[in-house]
């Protein structure tokens, strides 16, 4: 297999796969906390009561202000749904991130411009200066879309 095909494979396999109720899957959500529930141990509850592993992708939390967490939850589909319902019962707003970023790698020149605007650390150039997309870190902020001079990046809604 050529080096170019290998790179494309890396991008494809990083996409989320949902294949049935008994398969663990991942869901990315934005949690908006009112100040009164900032201390709620959400990730602990998710792990202990729903067997959900949480990966915090971004956190903006300040005392007396609404906090925001972008997290990726990994668990069984029915447990994910139950957990989201439970989180909402705590007065926390849950916004699911359904969109994802698609790279048309045939057009990519690996110039690295998009890497410099990705605050989430989802883009990097490897040791051979080839673009790598670390999809689990992507918060779909869309900063890389206008940054790319070659229209390589698109948002799949």
Contact residues toward ligand SF4 (CB under 6 A) are: 101, 103, 108-114, 117-118, 120, 122-123, 131, 138-144, 147-148, 150, 152-153
What is the smallest separation between the CB atom of 35 and ligand SF4, expressed in angstroms?
27
Cβ distance 105 to 6 under 8 Å?
no
Q: How far apart are CA 52 and CA 3, in angstroms?
A: 36
- Nearest to ligand SF4 of 52, 135 (CB atom): 135
Q: Taking every pair of C-alpha atoms in the chain, what is the biggest distance, in angstroms?
A: 55
Decide whether 16 or 48 has the Cβ nearer to ligand SF4: 16
The smaller minimum CB distance to ligand SF4, of residues 91 and 112, is found at 112
d(CA 34, CA 108): 42
- Between 24 and 110, name the residue whose CB sits nearer to ligand SF4: 110
| Helix and strand numbers, DSSP H then E, in the chain | 5, 8
**How many Å apart are CA 85 and CA 128, to the nearest integer?**
45
Tokens describing residue 90:
């705590």
């Amino acid at each position: 297999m050529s080096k170019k095909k290998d790179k494309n494979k890396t991008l494809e396999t990083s996409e989320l796969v949902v294949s049935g109720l008994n398969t663990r899957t991942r869901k990315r959500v934005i949690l908006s906390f009112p100040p009164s529930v900032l201390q709620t141990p959400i990730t602990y509850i998710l792990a202990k009561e729903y067997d959900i592993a949480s990966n915090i992708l971004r956190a903006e939390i300040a005392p007396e202000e609404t906090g925001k967490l972008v997290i990726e939850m990994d668990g069984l589909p029915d447990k994910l749904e139950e957990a989201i319902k439970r989180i909402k019962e705590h007065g926390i707003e849950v916004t699911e991130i359904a969109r994802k970023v698609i790279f048309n790698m045939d057009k990519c020149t690996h110039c690295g411009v998009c890497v410099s605007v990705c605050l989430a650390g989802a883009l990097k150039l490897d040791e051979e200066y080839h673009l790598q997309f670390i999809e689990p870190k992507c918060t779909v902020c869309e900063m890389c879309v206008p940054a790319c001079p070659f229209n390589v990046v698109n948002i799949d809604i």
